[in-house]
Amino acid sequence: MLTLQEGRIAVRLAREALKAYVEGRKTIDTKGLPPVFDEPRGVFVTLHLEGELRGCIGYPHPVMPLGKAIVDSAINACSRDPRFPSVRPGELKRIEVEVTILTKPETYNVPKKKLPELVRIGKDGLIVTKGPFSGLLLPQVAPEWGFDSLEFLGQTCVKAGLPPDAWLDEDTEVQHFEAQIFAEVAPEREVIEKSYSDATCGT
State the pLDDT at residue 200: 34
Set out the domains of the chain in order of their start, with CATH numbers: 4-103+179-194 (3.30.700.20), 106-177 (3.30.1490.150)
The Cβ of residue 75 has, within 10 Å, a number of other Cβ atoms equal to: 22
> 45-75 pLDDT, tens per residue?
999 999 899 999 999 999 999 999 999 999 9
| pLDDT tens digit sequence for 134-144 | 999 999 999 99
Per-residue pLDDT reduced to its tens digit, 146-180: 999 999 999 999 999 999 999 999 999 999 999 99
Q: What is the pLDDT of residues 8-49, one digit of tens each?
A: 999 999 999 999 999 999 999 999 999 999 999 999 999 999
**pLDDT above 80 for 197:** no
Report pTM.
0.90
Residue 145 buriedness (CB in 10 A; 0-12 / 13-18 / 19+): exposed
